[in-house]
Amino acid sequence: MPETISTTISPEGSLEILSQHEVSRLHDTSRSGLHDLLRRCALAVLNCGTPTDDSLALMEAYRDFDIEVIQQDRGVRLKLTNAPAEAFVDGRMIRGIREHLSAILRDIVYVYNEIQGHQRFDLSTAEGTTNAVFHILRKAGTLKPGRDPSLVVCWGGHSISREEYEYTKDVGYHLGLRDLDICTGCGPGAMKGPMKGANVAHAKQRRYQGRYLGVSEPGIIAAEAPNPIVNELVVMPDIEKRLEAFVRLGHGIIVFPGGVGTAEEILYLLGILLHPDNADMELPVILTGPANSAEYFRRIDEFLVYTLGEAVRRHYRIIVADPTEVARTMRKGVDAVADYRRARQDAFYYNWRLTVDRDFQEPFAPTHEAMASLALRRDLPVHRLAANLRRAFSGIVAGNVKEDGMRAIAAHGPFTLHAEAELMARLDALLNSFVAQGRMKLSGDYSPCYRLA
């Protein structure tokens, strides 16, 4: 059994100043049905730095771990039982981990008490969902109204080669030298590298308010625990609101090599940009990696053009093996975003003008039945086909690394996807290339959680 520590701690960075009513609600929530969700997310944060993406194995290794909110007149304390010893130094919890732990408690409780089932937020509508995403981000202190556009969202795989990881650091470094901040899914690999590079560059430029924003969700955080550089953490309630948070917050997007999760993000983004209402939207998108990733992006590009049409290429640019050019291009793109929003008197901190179709907001539960019923046909409108392909890749991510998805695969076998013949052949070739390149799993052998019928 791994070494553990039992202790109580005070929140850090969030929840320090609370009314007695808020303290009471926090205490009640910790005793409700949210306890298991809070326990799983807290364990992931406390296990930061361990190279695993197997959430089931993590829960099994620390089956005796528990967390409880203790009510006090001056606020709350968190009681931890059998927590991973790696989260402590000489018996004291590492400060960054304590901040992350407080952030997940803040977001999970806020969504439960103030968003879900609340009359203020109609989550069955596009407007209501976008409003809910805004309020979650505002509660987390993520919206910075006094700053010019600078936030670059970086997507990419958590299971990447060392060369690809070093490349993401180089890109992050050159972004940081140009006063750009980093937002990622907060995990390892391509989510950590840009932050690490930018952190060094910000130190050189004496940029003391550098932002390293991590956006996660409960189903994925155990597989992609926040890396130590993240200084702002937000846990959105589901993958769809997480993706909407990225595109509402970001002033530009860079995509590094990855697997199905990265493909899901690309399809989500392009499906939105292809919507007629977003025809004039200013949002720079760059796909980039080292020289040996050229084949990866060629396959992605071919698949996108086949499924979504030649017009999709106008929404992104592929730059291979040139971190400096990536950063220069992104800096120009972010400046163009600033001009675009000034001209329309739009907020810098939240992209209200972007239309996100309801197909991209509706939470998708990747059950065997739901995966088998996805319509994957080229006669669909391009934004709807993109939405269904995004759902297919989301299901594969769930089967690979999410606890519920892994249990469903273990119980009922692989998901089945149905598609027209040529599309199926291209989808099969793309997925097989991910498997061959080791992009599906961080550790251990990979057994496909899907089959194409």
Residue type present at position 175: L
Segment 9-13 mean pLDDT: 86
Counting beta carbons within 10 angstroms of the beta carbon of residue 291, is it exposed (0 to 12), middle (13 to 18) or buried (19 or more)? exposed
Residue 18 has pLDDT above 80, yes or no: no
Residue 300 has pLDDT above 90, yes or no: yes
CA distance 333 to 284: 5
Residue 30 has pLDDT above 60, yes or no: no
Segment 318-322 mean pLDDT: 98
Residues belonging to the chain? 453
Residue 306 has pLDDT above 60, yes or no: yes
Spatial CB neighbours of 185, under 8 Å, sequence gap ≥ 6: 155, 158, 191, 214, 215, 216, 220, 224, 242
Segment 312-323 mean pLDDT: 97
| Between 282 and 59, residue with greater pLDDT | 282
Residue 247 has pLDDT above 80, yes or no: yes
Q: Please, what's the b/e burial string for 18-34 (b: 16 or more CB within 10 A of its CB; e: otherwise)?
A: beeeebebbeebbeeeb
Residue 146 has pLDDT above 60, yes or no: yes
Is there a contact between 83 and 44 (Cβ–Cβ < 8 Å)? no
Question: What tokens does 420 get?
Answer: 């027209």
Spatial CB neighbours of 206, under 8 Å, sequence gap ≥ 6: none
pLDDT for the residue 97: 94
Is there a contact between 400 and 442 (Cβ–Cβ < 8 Å)? no
Question: What tokens does 271 get?
Answer: 């499906």
Domains parsed from the chain with CATH numbers: 4-115 (3.30.1850.10), 141-343 (3.40.50.450), 358-452 (no CATH)
pLDDT confidence band for 115 (50 / 70 / 90): confident
pLDDT for the residue 209: 93
pLDDT for the residue 362: 92
- Nearest Cα to 227, choosing from 262, 203, 199, 259? 199
Is there a contact between 137 and 183 (Cβ–Cβ < 8 Å)? no
| Between 355 and 19, residue with greater pLDDT | 355
CA distance 106 to 80: 17
pLDDT confidence band for 48 (50 / 70 / 90): confident
Lowest mean pLDDT among 51-55, 153-157, 199-203, 418-422: 51-55
pLDDT for the residue 28: 64
What predicted TM-score, i.e. pTM, was given to this entire model?
A: 0.91
pLDDT for the residue 254: 98
Beta bridge partners of 169: none
Q: Is 5 helix (H, G, I), strand (E, B) or coil?
A: strand
